[in-house]
Structure 1
Amino acid sequence: MKSGTQLPDVTFHTRVRDEAVEGPNPFRWEDKTTADYFAGKRVILFSLPGAFTPTCSTYQLPGFENGYAEFKDKGIDDIYCMSVNDSFVMNKWALDQGLENVKVIPDGSGEFTRKMGMLVDKDNLGFGMRSWRYAAIVNDGVVEAWFEEPGLMDNCPEDPYGVSSPDNLKKHLSEVKEPALA
């Protein structure tokens, strides 16, 4: 995936809280498209191997959550965390992490991740198909800047982390002028 590439058009199956739904699980299904998330905004999208996993839960997601105000000051409208996990898992992880700023996107079937060229086999860890770790600055649905961890491969024996870190994206945003929406 290179800068200047349009994001793939995908429908995400999400669960959203709805107080009109009675009972102990007040959520309903809501389909959202790539355009719903990315049209008309300059955002950060970062994708990681899995909810509740160590690097993702200890460093990457908290780093983006805690750096939200600084990213906003640098011209970012929203920050999205994506994983090849279903909406139930992503919502529970967001709750567990106490997210107030970062929004989660479930790519349960891996369709978006596959179309991005980032779907990898992680059977060596018992994960099945998951996302390779990456981040992007996306401007009106077009990749403005791309941050992919090195060594993209199936069953990678390591989990590289650094290129897609919040600090690296902050550094990049400090070095570039905020562009107009595409």
Structure 2
Amino acid sequence: MISEGSTLPDHEFTFITPEGKVTRSSRDLFGGKRIVLFAVPGAFTPTCSNAHLPGYVVKADEFAACGVDGLCCLSVNDAFVMRAWQREQNAEAITMLADGDGCFVTKLGLGKETGAFGGLRAQRFALIADDGVVTRLRVEAPGQFEVSDAESLLALL
């Protein structure tokens, strides 16, 4: 599992934009920047939609004031779902990272198998990365939402 001091792995993310599908590398997204990356088990799910993502949307300006260059939300969903969820949540300030096949969370060692409920998903976690190096990492215990919320990450800055 990735840990504090680890470098985020190389990966290509796909985004849906008005111009169509666009890919960006993890190096481009995280290199030379201070980023907060938080992961949710699934877009449009109750805790993710009612608390996790909205907390970061509401606190986006506070993160920027603390020197954070960007907020990224990761989920094992496709880019179309992530874009729809972004719109539905009024989360334009958040970069939505679609990990459609779970490859990125697997590289991080933070995937979880949910069987017929949804297959491979991300564990709920949040991290702070400076120039692609993890400086803080908080992974939730199964079924919990206590250490990866926006307030908890702001307290680490």
With structure 2 as the length reference, what TM-score do the two structures score? 0.95
Letter in 1 for 2:39: S
* 1:11 aligned partner, one-letter code: E
1:14: which partner in 2? 15
Superposition deviation, residue 119 in structure 1:
1.0
Q: Distance in 2 between matches of 1:55 and 1:16?
A: 26
Q: Is residue 2:142 matched to residue 1:141?
A: no
In 1, Cα distance between equivalents of 2:57 and 2:28: 21
Q: 52, 58, 78: which is aligned to 2:44?
A: 52
1:131 aligns with 2:115: no
Name the structure 1 match of 2:81.
89
Secondary structure at 1:146 match in 2: strand
Moved over 3 A (4+): none
- Equivalent pairs counted in the alignment come to 156
* Structure 2 CA distance for aligned equivalents of residues 170 and 113 of structure 1: 23
Q: What is the RMSD of the two structures over their aligned residues, measured on CA atoms?
A: 1.1
> Any unmatched runs of 5+ in structure 1?
19-27, 152-158, 174-182
Q: Which amino acid is 2:89 matched to?
A: Q
Match of 2:93 in 1: 101
State the percentage of identical aligned residues.
38
The yes-or-no answer on 1:37 pairing with 2:37 is no
